[in-house]
Structure 1
Amino acid sequence: MSRHVTSTRRAVMAGLGAIVATGSVTTAAAAAESEWTVEAVETDGTLHDVVSAAAGRFAVGGGGVLTTPGAHGWKTLRDGGPTGNGNDLYGASVTDDGERVWFVGASGAIGEYIPATDTLVDHSAPLDNTNNYNDVAVTGEAGEADVYVAGDSGKIYYSFENGEEATWDYVTPGSGSGLPAIDFHGPRSGHAIDTNGRVFATDDGVTWNAIGIEDANATFYGLDSDAEDDVAVSGGNGTVLTYDGANWTPDALGDADLVDVETDGQSGYVVGSGGVVQELTPDDRFVLDTPTGENLNAVDVGGDAVVVGSSGTVLRR
Structure 2
Amino acid sequence: MNLLFVVLIALSSLASALSQIDILNDFYNSTGGDFWYVKTGWKTATNPCDYFGVQCDYNGRIVGIFLQCNNLSGTIPSSFGFLAQIEAFDFSSNQIYDSLPQTLINMKSLYAIGMKENKLNGSFPNHLAENHELEYIHLDFNKITGTIQQSFSKLKKLKVLTVTNNQLNGQFPQSLFELKNLQMIMLGGNQLEGQIPSRLHQLRQLEVLDISRNSFSGPLPNEFGYMSKLTELCIFGNNFEESVPSSLSDAPLLAVLDVLFLLHLAFQHKQKHLILVQTRFMIHCHKL
Same fold (TM over 0.5): no
More helix by share: 2
TM-score, normalised by the number of residues in structure 1: 0.26
Greater RCO between the two (CA within 8 Å, min separation 6)? 1
